[in-house]
Homo-oligomer: A and B are copies of this chain.
Amino acid sequence: MNHFYNLADLSGEAIESLLLDAAHYKNQPLGKDLDGLQFALLFLAPSLRTRCSFEVGIRQLGGGVSMLEPSMFYGLETRNGVRMDGNSAEHIKEALPVLSNFYSGLGVRVMAGGKSAEEDLSDRMFDAFRSHAKIPIFNMESAIYHPCQALADMLTIRELLGSHKGRRLTLTWAPHPHPLPTAVANSVLLAASQLGMDVTLTHPEGFELPESITTKAEELSRTAGGQIRTTHDQKVAFKDAEIVYAKSWGALSRYDSTEAEQELRLSNSNWRVDRSLMNASSKAYFMHCLPVRRNVVVTDDVIDHPRSVVIRQAENRLHAQKAVLKSIYCNLK
């Protein structure tokens, strides 16, 4: 089954091929690659960019798209052998095979619950969808991966720098009033590593990304001839960066205590990306996946600067996702 779950499941060549197709669609938005196919999108967490870009992209290629109502899926039973006399009215063992008969593909967003680090890292809900579907499932952000975002970001970087290998990307933690998932940071780190970028990861102590992710990133980086550095000194990390990618996430190290996590997070509000930090590099582009809280994550003068490319990143979601769909369905057809 040709699911699209995590960019690290693909070879570097496959990613390059997706980027080429994405660039093609950027020039030529309309096509027939999905003619006659019907898709469903399920957002168990809210979405603006992802939802609109998938909906538009599918229609631009001739497909049809249904927005599934999340309320139908909130209580979906996923356990085996349970006696369903509670709130769950339907089991995933029926719901997914049924959808598989109506649609050619299903996009799913199931974000991290933020309650249990172990459960989030296992990506249990997304995995349940994948394992019960008879059609390709594509990841519109799971508890730990956001491959569509990372692919769009790699397209953006290639447009800006012309290449990935050896180019200097600084991925910096940023402040936020809420403990956000690590999915975007994970996927950007993995993708940049896989394409051989020279990555500097910087965050306060306690905000380490999941070890399974950083270990995988180092392996990918070695294979691709890149490198990864980690530092708690944000100022050093920004020096000579070609790309500054800002993203907030919650402190996994304190997942078991809402208060302790919040205290650690709020104590690092000085990690906000501002002009003086950006001045550590003469020419860094500023990236962020959006939505962004202005003047908390990043100051107005950075995000409104000509070298801020956040709107272009969002636009590239459309093109990158069409390339993903093409790779799934033009092989199937």
Contact = CB atoms under 8 A, between A and B. Distances in A.
A72 B101 contact: no
A80 B314 CA distance: 22
Nearest to A178: B89
Contact of A48 (B80, B84, B98): B98
Contacts of A296: 83-85
B98 A72 contact: no
B46 A102 contact: no
Interface stretch (A58-66, A165-173, A232-240): A58-66
Given A81-B300, A84-B294, A290-B90, A64 B59 contact: yes
B293 A85 contact: yes
Contacts of A311: 94, 97-98, 101
A253 B45 CA distance: 43
A66 B56 contact: yes
Contacts of A66: 51-52, 55-56
* A interface residue count range (under 10 / 10 to 19 / 20 to 34 / 35 or more): 35 or more
A91 B291 CA distance: 8
A310 interface: yes
Contacts of A68: 48, 52
Contacts of A292: 90-91, 94
Interface string A101-116: 1110000000000000
A268 to B, nearest CB: 14
Nearest to A88: B293
Nearest to A81: B300
Nearest to A80: B300
9 closest residue pairs by CB, A with B: A90-B291, A101-B315, A84-B293, A83-B295, A59-B64, A98-B314, A97-B311, A38-B56, A52-B102
Interface of A: 30, 36, 38, 40, 46-49, 51-53, 55-56, 59-60, 64, 66, 68-69, 71-72, 77, 80-86, 88-91, 93-95, 97-99, 101-103, 177, 290-296, 300, 304, 310-311, 314-315, 318
